[in-house]
Amino acid sequence: MPMSVKELIEAANKVVPPIGFAEAKEKMQSGNVLVLDVRDAPEVENSGLIANAVHVSRGMLEFRADPASPYFDERFGKDKTILVYCASGGRSALSGKTLKDLGYLDVFNLGAFKDWVESGGAVQHPVDAGM
């Protein structure tokens, strides 16, 4: 049965738990964390990204995250905690579910970049959004 985008995001949110900014910052400090920005390149170029985050647009996620892909990004690791964010939380939910489907176990939806900024989270500029 076909699903709407809203239903896809709701299903993803059942699989990928949200994480608050305080807990996310603790995990980032503890190490072995990949903070993943899945926005499109123009969005990242215009606003920057969370400090030390890796940008992989949602359209390339499967290729960068799958070790069997010729486009695999070594910064991904199934032993890492992955914190995914986007502009509003929808693409990060869908991306988190995709990562779970690929066998990543410790995946959280960090939500919206603007909320991170408003909470005082560190942002880096300029950025090479080459992916």
In 3D, which of 46, 41, 25 has the Cα closest to residue 116?
Answer: 25
Position 117 scores a pLDDT of 95
In 3D, which of 57, 58, 62 has the Cα closest to residue 103?
Answer: 62
Cα four-point dihedral sign 39, 45, 49, 51: positive
Position 2 scores a pLDDT of 86
pLDDT surpasses 90 at 127: no
User: Can you tell me the mean pLDDT for 74-101?
Assistant: 97
For the chain, give the mean pLDDT: 93
Quote the CA–CA distance of 129 and 121 in Å, as a whole number. 20
Q: Which CATH code of 3.40.50.2020, 3.40.250.10, 1.10.357.140, 3.30.70.20 fits the domain covering 5-121?
A: 3.40.250.10
> What's the whole-model pTM score?
0.92
In 3D, which of 104, 99, 81 has the Cα closest to residue 33?
Answer: 81
Position 126 scores a pLDDT of 62
